[in-house]
């Protein structure tokens, strides 16, 4: 089984020991990271190499953002679609084992869901619109997996309370309708819901603001793995996992890793 993982790590240098622990336990073939918060030359390449992930493609940025793909297998860097109008390091693409992998970090959008009054929310909607255009045009051009922190919880059962979060950024109709369009027009299958269908609640993110996230469990599913239909057909239910225990590790990210398995 070929296993692909995605994780918003919220600073790869700060949490490199945690990442290596996860790699040792989950043993994915490919790990896609978002919000690495470092420039290319600052990426902890040696630690990944020592962990058996000798191949990597990093698109870093000083201070914020940044994405990377690390792999046990040779990878071919690809030109990524231009999804961010602000030219931030939010997308990286590579081909591994014949599969095109796109790793995305969609803007969070701040707190006010008003594109007229909140430039960060407008930026988020612009990125989602660009995604729709790019992946609609790419549909049918070979196997692809799209992963990442898409910062949208699209479904009613992807949030702790659909009713209470309809006006909260990450679950507003302006965001969910756009993300649904990217998935459907791009010909993607959401592997989480393929293997763990509604009405099961699925979360990948819990706020740092909650003093006891396990007690309240007010989560959202912001991290996704989608596959083109040909790859979804060889996706294995037993290979899909949300690694929730990572949220309880020392100094954790507010996101947890998601893994999907394919038989190639």
Q: Identify the CA nearest to 69 among candidates 89, 41, 92.
A: 92
Nearest-angstrom CA–CA distance, 136 and 210 = 38
State the DSSP H helix or E strand holding residue 169, giving kind and residue range, or none if neither. none
How would you classify the pairing of strands 235-242 and 75-78? unpaired
- 114: domain CATH number? 3.60.10.10
Radius of gyration of the chain (CA): 17
Show Cβ contacts of residue 140 under 8 Å, excluding neighbours closer than 6 positions: 187
Q: Can you give the residue range of the structural domain that contains 188?
A: 2-262
199 preceded by cis ω (within 30°)?
Answer: yes
d(CA 194, CA 200): 12
pTM over 0.95: yes
Q: Give pLDDT, residue 80.
A: 97
**Predicted pLDDT of residue 212:** 84
The angle, 0 to 180 degrees and rounded to 10, between the axes of the packed helices 119-138 and 173-185 is 10
* The pLDDT value given to residue 63: 84
Cα–Cα distance measured from residue 256 to residue 192, given in angstroms and rounded to the nearest whole number: 14
Helices (H) and strands (E) in the chain, counts: 8, 14
The predicted structure's pLDDT at residue 208: 92
For CA atoms 95, 99, 100, 104, the dihedral sign is negative
Total number of domains in the chain: 1
Which stretches of the chain drop beneath a pLDDT of 50?
A: none
Confidence (pLDDT) at 14: 97
DSSP state of 52: T
Residue-level pLDDT at 216: 84
């Amino acid at each position: 089984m070929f296993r692909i993982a995605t994780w918003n790590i919220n600073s790869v240098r700060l949490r490199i020991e945690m990442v290596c622990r996860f790699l040792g336990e989950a043993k994915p073939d490919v790990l896609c990271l978002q919000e690495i918060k470092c420039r290319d030359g600052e990426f902890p390449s040696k630690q990944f190499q020592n962990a058996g992930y000798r191949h990597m493609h990093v698109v870093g940025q000083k201070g914020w953002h940044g994405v990377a793909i690390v792999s046990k297998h040779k990878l071919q860097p690809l030109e990524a679609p231009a999804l961010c109008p602000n030219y931030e390091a939010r997308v990286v693409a590579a081909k591994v084992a014949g599969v095109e992998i796109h790793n995305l970090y969609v803007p969070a959008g701040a707190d006010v869901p008003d594109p007229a009054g909140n430039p960060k929310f407008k930026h988020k909607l612009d990125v989602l619109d660009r995604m729709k255009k790019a992946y609609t045009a790419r549909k049918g051009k070979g196997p692809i997996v799209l992963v990442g922190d898409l910062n949208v919880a699209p479904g009613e059962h992807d949030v702790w309370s659909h009713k209470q979060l309809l006006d909260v950024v990450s679950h507003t109709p302006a965001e969910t309708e756009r993300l649904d369009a990217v998935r459907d027009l791009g010909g993607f299958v959401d592997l989480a819901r393929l293997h763990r269908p509604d009405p099961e609640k699925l979360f990948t993110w819990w706020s740092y603001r909650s003093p006891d996230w396990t007690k309240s469990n007010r989560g959202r599913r912001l991290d996704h793995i989608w596959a083109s239909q040909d790859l979804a057909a060889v996706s294995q239910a037993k290979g899909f996992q949300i690694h929730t225990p990572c949220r309880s590790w020392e100094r954790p990210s507010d996101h947890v890793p998601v893994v999907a398995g394919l038989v190639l």
